[in-house]
């Protein structure tokens, strides 16, 4: 008897659900790959802080500093919607001609010099640290650490040659 009552209630519920309209489909809004959307961050920040002050909320020190740095004339200006400041194509933002390559960075060897300088300086710092640990703390160095210390003169010569170029 209880099963029959439960089945009847379920049938009525399904019949009522069938009469209702289906829910609306979700809106799928996404940025188009050919468009860039920009916003005026200073104007948005100014409006936000003005709303907080008007509501009587206390501002943090960081917000007070930001309010001081934001142009006060922008607080009352309307913030443009993203549609108003959408750029239709990326090509409008790109320069007409490509930027000229600096002659010093034209060759791959010249472009790699700053990285090589950093690498050499790092290796020399590590060698100096190993020497200091050996002298002050009496640390026993392993074979690969001793081999690294033996490369010191060659690394210094290479660094000197790169710096003089």
Domain ranges of the chain: 34-90, 107-164
Does 19 score more than 60 pLDDT? yes
Residue 8 pLDDT > 80 = yes
Distance (Å, whole) CA 29 – CA 8: 43
Mean pLDDT along residues 154-164 = 88
Q: pLDDT of 70-128, one tens digit each?
A: 665 555 555 555 444 444 444 444 555 555 544 544 445 566 788 888 999 999 999 99
Q: Which residue has the higher pLDDT, 62 or 107?
A: 62
Q: Which of 78, 69, 82 is nearest to 31 (CA)?
A: 82
pLDDT at 54 over 80: yes
Backbone angles phi, psi at 36, to 5 degrees: -110, 135
């Amino acid at each position: 008897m209880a099963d029959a009552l439960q089945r009847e209630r379920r049938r009525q519920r399904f019949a009522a659900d069938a009469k209702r309209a289906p829910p609306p489909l979700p809106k799928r809004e996404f940025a188009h790959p050919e468009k860039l959307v920009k916003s005026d961050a200073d104007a948005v920040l100014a409006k936000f802080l003005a709303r907080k002050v008007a509501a009587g909320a206390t501002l943090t020190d960081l917000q007070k500093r930001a309010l001081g740095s934001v142009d006060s004339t922008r607080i009352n200006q309307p913030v443009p919607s993203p549609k108003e400041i959408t750029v239709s194509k990326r090509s409008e933002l790109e320069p007409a001609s490509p930027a000229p390559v600096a002659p010093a960075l034209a060759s791959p060897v010249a472009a790699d010099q700053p990285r090589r300088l950093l690498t050499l300086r790092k290796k020399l710092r590590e060698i100096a640290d190993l020497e200091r640990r050996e002298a002050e703390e009496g640390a026993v160095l392993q074979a690969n650490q001793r081999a690294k210390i033996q490369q010191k003169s060659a690394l210094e010569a290479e660094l000197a040659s790169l710096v003089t170029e």
